[in-house]
Amino acid sequence: MTDETRGDQPFKRLFFALDCPPTQRKAIAQWRSELGLRTGKPVPADNFHLTLLFLGAVPLAQIGEVCEAAAKVRTPGEALRISLDRLQVWRRTGVLSLAPEQAPQALLRLVYALEQAMLPFGFEEATREYRPHLTLARDYRAPEPESATAPEFFLRAERFALFESHKGRYRSLAEWPLV
């Protein structure tokens, strides 16, 4: 059984995200390997995504309701195109990530709509300030690495998904179109 329990209630660790297409994953992983990182734990390329909203521990009994609420979220009506053109280090949390220099307004509106849809569930994790990013490595404790080529990746998303995080792997549980 892949579910975890807290007390006597089974739950899953969930988050909403934009998935990263396989060709994009490969290109980002190749670029990351050229950085020659000597610290941190590289995130497996199969886990590359752009987080929209982290929910944390969600009781199994509530997942259907979460999906129903997500299905009612107003979407941009078009595919999102997010430029991942900035390498950054979050020193406090030890994260090395790619982020947009400027987040598209359609992305910010989608995140806000998701936050509003999840308010009735009382997820404490959902109250953090949103910073769009794609995590390259965790436990990264060094300055921003030098890169021979600047990051110039474009994440194109036609849907958003609810993912489960389990033992270091992410699995999509449900998807909704943006278009």
* Token pair recorded at residue 85: 């053109």
124-149 burial: b if 16+ Cβ within 10 Å, else e: eebeeebebbbbbbeebeeeebeeee
Instruction: For the beta carbon of residue 35, count every other beta carbon within 10 angstroms.
Output: 18
Asked if 49 and 19 touch (Cβ cutoff 8 Å), the reply is yes
Residues annotated catalytic, as ranges = 49, 133
Strand extents, DSSP E, the chain? 4-6, 9-19, 41-42, 49-59, 80-84, 86-90, 95-99, 134-138, 153-157, 159-166, 169-177
Strand locations in 85-133 (E): 86-90, 95-99
